[in-house]
Amino acid sequence: MGLGKRPRLGLIGFGGFGRLMAGALCPHMDILVCDPAYVGAVLDTGQALPMGTLEDAAQCDIVVLCIPVARVPHLCARLAPLLKPGTLVVDVGSVKVEPMRVMDELLPSHVDIVGTHPLFGPQSARDGIAGHKIAVCPLRGVRWRSVAGFLRRIGLDVIVTTPEAHDREAAMVQGLTHLIAKVLAGMGPLPERMTTASFEHLRAAIGMVQDDPPTVLHAIETANPYAADIRSAFFERAERLRVQFDGV
């Protein structure tokens, strides 16, 4: 990835994050988009990318799964007989333990697998991806090193980790952020006039995640094996404070 000849990348999924990713990567590789929900793949710059079938995408040098976590098993089962030897398969999901287990189980032994989680999205990276963080979880093969090196060269802060360590930290980092954002967004319009600096940061954080599709919140809160314990600890401490102040 990012080494030698210009690689061909099959991008499966062209939602908000898929478009962001395609825009960042198209200067470095030839991208083919596969997404039956779209009749055309057009970047925010107006550049149109070629589209193809799942079979077409599977024949690329790199195949990126840019889909909801819940769809990974079904897609991997369909991809498995289509992938050529030496293909590099990468996912970008916000949960790593279970999706990577499924990828390892269902994808053929002749492909390399690297899990990634870009710790940004269309809102937080609307001015560019440089300086943002991305987790890289090696699974199969040695090309994760070239993946990490390429990601650093395009300006990302790479964190090499394991699926388990990733999910443990993400359960709090993402789980609580999205949970709090969902609760506050549901309480109605947030104040805009009489605000403090800390509240402005809170409002900005909510703005970065409140428009994420429901599948993202669902994956973060249900597919992460450590999320339930973090939620329980958070609500337990919140309840203690409620009882404390209600009793005053």
Please name which of 13, 5, 7 lies closest in space to residue 31, comparing C-alpha atoms.
Answer: 7
The pLDDT of residue 123 is 86
Task: Express each pLDDT in 80-90 by its tens digit.
Answer: 999 999 999 99
DSSP letter (8 states) at residue 70: G
What are the CA-CA distances from residue 55 to residues 38, 82, 165, 200 (Å)? 17, 6, 34, 47
Query: Cα–Cα distance between 117 and 165 in angstroms, integer?
Result: 13
- Measured between its terminal Cα atoms, the distance across the chain in Å is 61
Query: Cα–Cα distance between 212 and 178 in angstroms, integer?
Result: 9
Query: Cα–Cα distance between 3 and 179 in angstroms, integer?
Result: 40
- The residues of the chain scoring below 50 in pLDDT are 1-3
Residues 6 or more apart whose Cβ sits within 8 Å of residue 245: none
CATH, domain range 8-161: 3.40.50.720
Residue type, 188: G
The pLDDT of residue 2 is 43
The pLDDT of residue 239 is 95
Helices within the chain (DSSP H only): 16-25, 54-58, 72-79, 97-106, 144-153, 163-185, 197-209, 214-218, 227-246
- pTM of the entire predicted model: 0.90
Query: Cα–Cα distance between 64 and 22 in angstroms, integer?
Result: 11
The pLDDT of residue 185 is 86
Residue extent(s) of CATH 3.40.50.720 domains in the chain? 8-161
The pLDDT of residue 248 is 65
Sign of CA dihedral 97, 99, 100, 101: positive
User: 92 and 136 in contact (C-beta within 8 Å)?
Assistant: no
Query: Cα–Cα distance between 132 and 143 in angstroms, integer?
Result: 22
The pLDDT of residue 3 is 45
State the CB neighbour count (10 A cutoff) for residue 239. 10
